[in-house]
Amino acid sequence: MTLNYIGHNNWDGQNFINFYNNVISKRWDRIILFCQNEYDWHSHNETYFPLLLEHCIRTNQVIDVIAGSHSDQYPTIPNIITDNTRVVYWGTNWLGKTYHSLIRVGTAKSINPYQTTDYKYHFISMNSNPHQHRQYLVDLLAKYDLLRFNAVSMHQQNLNVYTWKYFKFEPLILEPEFPSDKQQHRVPDQYYNSFAQLVSESADDTIFLSEKTATPLILGKPFVVATQKNFHKYLKELGFQLYDEIFDYSFDNITDREERFEALLQNFIRLQKIPLGELSKLRVIVADKIEYNKRRAKEIIYDPNYYPTLAQEIIDCYLKTGVSIDQKLISDYQFLQEVRNLPL
């Protein structure tokens, strides 16, 4: 039996006005906003979302929301979380999306942690969109003279959100095509001749595991993430192993962002003191953890228990009836099934 559900997904380019008109045209069992590809969820349309809420309040219906972050800390637009909205958080969604993208395009390759590498950089840090916390992070890298000899990108600046204290801004570009390319399925050449990765996540005010963190987990690179507090605690809760042999994670529970990032960067100050020629030996020490984390990522990706119940219900409906309530969700699921048995 086909589910009497209706959904909207911004990533599909769906017209929200048409969605609204379809919602009010009949009674639905579920009205769903599919926001699993973003760390927050928002009103989609400033004019018609309030009208949708009014309709649901008047008809005593609930709007279900699937959001992509692990937690609800992110401050969504005021007045959209009401008694008529019900939010579930899908914190592992981007593991699957990243796994599929890296395999399907085929330009990224898994790293063999047991193989000796002639490293040129101690770490890589890729920062595209100039969010405030990313500009602050790059500014700290300049403060501790960690920009000159490492692979760091910062394509543009946004002085409306941050004023530089230590970095005299100039674009930091790893490959010429990256500023306009912005592809999430490939990494620059410097990724493979740098020892570790300093990840700047999409947000620093909620726990959101995006492709930025999924990539080193899947490809196999030691990393630390500049983001919300307790992010690495969340990775451990998912069953991943931290690289305690290399990094001190005591920064992870510091509430103040500036103090947390300062403490985090002490790891890279220490790392910088190790000769490049010694880094392969260090990687061998954590090689078993790297391989374990690759396997753990794939286990989570294909474990239906990590899907929200509502998402699994919609997938099951499609498998039984061929009816797709959210084409983006179904497409992502199908692509993962296609590459399920392929090695990265």
pTM confidence score: 0.94
Average pLDDT over residues 108-134: 94
Q: Is 31 exposed, middle or buried (0-12, 13-18, 19+ CB in 10 A)?
A: buried
Starting from the edge strand earliest in sequence, which strands make up the sheet with 223-226, in order? 151-154, 121-127, 194-200, 223-226
> How far is the C-alpha of 197 from the C-alpha of 218, rounded, in Å?
13
Looking at residue 83, its pLDDT comes to 81
Span 54-64, pLDDT tens digits: 999 999 999 99
The CATH architecture of the domain made up of 97-299 is 3-Layer(aba) Sandwich (3.40)
Average pLDDT over residues 159-178: 90
**Mean per-residue pLDDT of the chain:** 92
Whether 231 contacts 252, CB under 8 Å: yes
Span 6-43, pLDDT tens digits: 999 988 888 999 999 999 999 999 999 999 998 888 76
pLDDT at 344 over 80: no
Looking at residue 106, its pLDDT comes to 66
Span 216-265, pLDDT tens digits: 999 999 999 999 999 999 999 999 999 999 999 999 999 999 999 999 99
Span 301-337, pLDDT tens digits: 999 999 999 999 999 999 999 999 999 999 999 999 9
Whether 265 contacts 141, CB under 8 Å: yes
pLDDT at 82 over 90: no
Whether 268 contacts 251, CB under 8 Å: no
**Scanning the structure block, which residue is given the tokens 């001749």?**
193
Whether 261 contacts 138, CB under 8 Å: no
> How far is the C-alpha of 172 from the C-alpha of 136, rounded, in Å?
15
Domain ranges of the chain: 5-90+307-338, 97-299
Hey, what's the torsion of the CAs at 147, 227, 74, 48, to 10 degrees? Answer: 40
Looking at residue 305, its pLDDT comes to 96
b/e map of 139-162 (b: 16 or more CB within 10 Å)? bbbbeeebbeebbbbbbebeeeeb
Span of 100-114, 198-212, 272-286 with lowest mean pLDDT: 100-114
Looking at residue 167, its pLDDT comes to 97
Amino acid at 326: D
Looking at residue 45, its pLDDT comes to 83
**Scanning the structure block, which residue is given the tokens 């990494």?**
187
Q: What percent of the chain has pLDDT over 70?
A: 94
Looking at residue 178, its pLDDT comes to 61
Main-chain phi, psi angles of 256, to 5 degrees: -70, 125
> How far is the C-alpha of 5 from the C-alpha of 23, rounded, in Å?
10
Q: What percent of the chain has pLDDT over 90?
A: 79
> How far is the C-alpha of 244 from the C-alpha of 155, rounded, in Å?
31
pLDDT band at 71 (very low <50, low <70, confident <90, very high): confident
pLDDT at 110 over 70: yes
